[in-house]
Amino acid sequence: MLLKRIYYDWNVILNAVIIYDERYEDGVYMKFSAVLFDYGNTLLTYADHSIKGTLDRNISGIKKILSSSSHPLPELHIDDFLENFRLVYNDVNKTISKTMKEVSMFDVLLEAAKRSSITMPRDDMFGVYTELYKKSIGSCLIPDPDAIDVLKSIKNAGMKTGLVSNSMYDFEFHLDELQRFGFKPLLDTIIISSSVGVRKPHKRIFDIALKELNVFAKDTLFVGDHLNADIEGASRAGMETCLKIVEHNDGECIVEPDYRINGLKELRQIL
C-alpha cells in the first residue's frame, strides 16, 4: 500500500506538497526502486576483459577451432585468417567506441574470412562462432561469490533488478550461462547490447532497461566497474551510480560515481 508523504518545498514559501512515493514497502522507505548491474567484472569475474585481452582469447580460441578435425584449414590459411581477424576486430572496436553501435562477432569472423579468401558455408562459420564463445569467453567466466546472495536480498527488499551488458555475442549465449549461474531467476530484465544494437555508454540502452522495469532513472542505482561505459553512461541517463573497484577500472573518470564498493556485499550499506 502506498503511503502519503509530506515534503516541504522551501522555495515556495514552505508550501506543503503531498505526494505518493512507491518506494515505501510495509512502512519502510527504500532508497531505490531498482538496481541495475553490469555483467563482466561486476556479477562475475574473468582474467582480462580489455580489448586486447578479449582479442587474445578470441585468437587463441579460433586457432584451436580451425585446427580441429571438424573445421580443418591449412596452417597458412589459419595464420592469414588470424591476422585479418585481428585487423577487423581492432577496426570494429575503434568504430564502435565512437558510434556506440554494436557489431556482431559473427560479422567480424565473416569479414576476416572474406579478406582471407576463405570459402566456408555460413552454417559452418556459425559453428566456429559458437565454439569460439564457449572456448574463449564462456569457459573463463566465474560468478562473483556474493552475487546470488546480494541479488536475493535486493529482491526480498522489494526492489527490481536488471542486467545491462555490452557484448558482441548473441543474447542466447548469455541467457544460457545466466541460467547456469543461477542469475536469470533473480533478474527482472536482461539487456545485452547485441540484441538492442547499441552499447553502453549510449543512453538508449539504459532507457530500454528502465522502460522494461517501469522505473524512473532517479530512483535507480547502476553498479558497474567501467568508468566510462557504466558510471558516465548511467549517470548521464539520470541514475545514481556505484563503482565496483577492481584491479584495473577501465575508462576515464569524467563523472564521479555516487558510491564506491570493493565487493558486492557492501551494496547492503548503500541500499
pLDDT for position 5: 40
> HEC states along the chain?
CCEEEEEEECCCCCEEEEEEECCEECCEECCCCEEEECCECCCEECCCCCHHHHHHHHHHHHHHHHCCCCCCCCHHHHHHHHHHHHHHHHHHHHHHHHHCECCCHHHHHHHHHHHCCCCCCHHHHHHHHHHHHHHHHHHHCEECCCHHHHHHHHHHCCCEEEEEECCCCCHHHHHHHHHHHCCHHHCCEEEEHHHHCECCCCHHHHHHHHHHHCCCHHHEEEEECCHHHHHHHHHHCCCEEEEECCCCCCCCCCCCCCEEECCHHHHHHHC
Band of the pLDDT at 17, cuts 50, 70, 90? very low
pLDDT recorded at residue 29: 54
Residue 165 above 70 pLDDT?
A: yes
Q: Would you state the pLDDT for residue 76?
A: 61
Confidence class of residue 250 from pLDDT cuts 50, 70 and 90? low
Instruction: Considering the domain delimited by 32-46+143-270, tell me its CATH architecture.
Output: 3-Layer(aba) Sandwich (3.40)
Position 159 confidence tier, pLDDT thresholds 50, 70, 90: very high
Task: Average the pLDDT over each of 18-27, 47-56, 261-270 and give the range with the smallest value.
Answer: 18-27
Q: Is the pLDDT reported for residue 11 higher than 90?
A: no
The pLDDT of residue 10 is 36
Is residue 42 pLDDT above 90, yes or no? yes
Q: Which of 28-32, 110-114, 185-189, 251-255 has the highest mean pLDDT?
A: 185-189
pLDDT interval class at 70 (50, 70, 90): low
Report the predicted TM-score, pTM, of the whole model to 2 decimal places: 0.84
